[in-house]
Amino acid sequence: MSILLITGMEGARNCADVIAKNLGREVEVAEGRKTALTLMRQKEFSAVVVDDTIAECDPAAAEAIWERAGLAIPLQINFALSGAARVIRDIRAALHRREREKILARRAAAAAIESELKSTVAGLLLQSELALSGSDAASPVAERLRTVADLAGSLRRQLAAPAAARDASI
């Protein structure tokens, strides 16, 4: 995804070209709020970088930009004091931080789903074993319950295998 620079600074296009070259991403430049909001309606951005002067001169415009940013990383940088190298460092750090956050969120979601599945499988296994212990072992229902218990046991082992492998690699 591209990066959006919102600044009225002269040489913004040159700065955008340097950022694009260093980060390997397309960089769009908007000189003001209206242009920025139009671009943000047209496409998604990985980062939205607003010049301090725009944010300080028109706080309502900055707020409108932040509200429209969606999942883009919001950054506010003083282009008058920061060179292209500093802007690149700040954007790169924010993008890396976001990537780490995504990885951690995926891991947490996977762990939550795995935990719920394990709990459900354990309940299914327990209930089918209890039903088997109280019924006639030769009946067709008992045979189906054995199949359910076997499937639940197999699923339980499959769920335990990735956790053991993951724990061993940590």
Residue 41 has pLDDT above 90, yes or no: yes
Mean per-residue pLDDT, 78-97? 92
Same domain, 24 and 73: yes
Q: Which of 18-22, 75-79, 91-95, 164-168 has the lowest mean pLDDT?
A: 164-168
Q: Are residues 6 and 76 in the same domain?
A: yes
The mean of the pLDDT values for the chain is 87
Asked whether residue 117 is assigned to any structural domain, the reply reads yes
Instruction: Give the pLDDT score at 137.
Output: 63
What is the average per-residue pLDDT within 91-115? 93
Q: Is 50 part of any domain?
A: yes
**Mean per-residue pLDDT, 100-124:** 90
The parent domain of residue 138 ranges over 108-169
Answer yes or no: do 112 and 164 share one domain. Answer: yes
* Distance (Å, whole) CA 93 – CA 2: 16
* Residue 95 counted as domain residue: no
Residues 77 and 7 in one domain: yes
> In angstroms, rounded to a whole number, what is the distance separating the alpha carbons of residues 102 and 11?
34
Average pLDDT rounded to a whole number, residues 40-55: 93
Percent of the chain whose pLDDT exceeds 90: 50
Q: What is the pLDDT of residue 150?
A: 84
Same domain as 124, residue 61: no
Stated pTM of the model: 0.71
Structural domain total, the chain:
2
153 assigned to some structural domain: yes
Same-domain pairing of 74 and 112: no
* Mean pLDDT to the nearest integer, 109-132: 85
Q: Is the pLDDT of residue 129 over 90?
A: no
Same domain, 65 and 121: no
- Is residue 115 included in any domain, yes or no? yes
- Tell me if 90 is assigned to some domain: no
| 92 burial via Cβ count (<10 Å: 0-12, 13-18, 19+) | middle
Does residue 138 surpass a pLDDT of 80?
Answer: no
In a domain, 93, yes or no: no
